[in-house]
């Protein structure tokens, strides 16, 4: 399976310059972020991908739209791969608004407020990563899946802190290797 960190968001631009939370809830991708998603999609074209699964945040949904569009696939939603709720950007969009903005996507039984109150500590992130590993263990075929996710979730799952637009291969033993990075976009 593959993990793709979403493209650069409006939050990433401000935070990387100032290291101060700019207070942007559920930010959108920048043009650079869209280019990073397109570059990752081009790389994924050469791989046997049959599923695109994304966290319900705007930046991952926008990244997944670009990837899925290039691959001719639908997008599935998986809240387990969401960002660690720590900054204002990790306040999500209510499910009713997501359904309006992405009417072609199925948000299933995603609650109206699906992100945690009051942040998420490292232990809680670890428990969510463990729940994701268990879910993967119950599935028999996930080699052909790309999960569009976030920095903290990818770090919690693999131990790797990767830049926006980075594509990782996650092997059965859950060892990860970088397949592609869009750092130059």
Q: Is 119 helix (H, G, I), strand (E, B) or coil?
A: coil
Quote the pTM value: 0.93
pLDDT-above-70 percentage for the chain = 96
Fold of the domain built from segment(s) 2-180: Rossmann fold (3.40.50)
Q: How confident is the model at residue 102 (pLDDT cuts 50, 70, 90)?
A: very high
Beta carbons within 8 Å of 8's beta carbon, 6+ residues apart: 29, 30, 32, 33, 36, 164, 165
| pLDDT of amino acid 184 | 44
Q: Which helix (H) or strand (E) holds 55?
A: none
Per the model's pLDDT, the better-predicted residue between 147 and 116 turns out to be 147
| pLDDT of amino acid 185 | 40
How far is Cα 40 from Cα 35, in angstroms, rounded to an integer?
9
Is there a contact between 136 and 142 (Cβ–Cβ < 8 Å)? yes
């Amino acid at each position: 399976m593959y993990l793709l960190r979403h493209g650069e968001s409006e939050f990433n631009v401000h935070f990387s310059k100032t290291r101060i939370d700019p207070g942007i809830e559920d930010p959108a991708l920048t043009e650079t972020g869209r280019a990073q998603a397109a570059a990752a999609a081009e790389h994924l074209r050469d791989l046997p991908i049959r599923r695109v699964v994304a966290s319900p945040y705007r930046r991952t949904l926008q990244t997944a739209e670009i990837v899925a569009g290039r691959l001719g696939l639908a997008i599935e939603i998986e809240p387990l791969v969401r960002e660690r709720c720590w900054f204002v950007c990790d306040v999500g969009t209510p499910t009713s608004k997501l359904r309006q903005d992405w009417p072609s996507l199925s948000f299933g039984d995603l609650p109206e407020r699906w992100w945690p109150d009051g942040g998420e500590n490292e232990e809680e992130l670890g428990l969510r990563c463990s729940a994701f590993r268990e879910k993967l263990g119950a599935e028999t075929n996930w080699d052909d899946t790309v999960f569009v996710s976030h920095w903290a979730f990818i770090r919690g799952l693999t131990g790797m802190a990767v830049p926006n637009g980075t594509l990782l291969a996650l092997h059965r033993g859950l060892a990860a290797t970088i397949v592609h990075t869009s750092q130059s976009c």
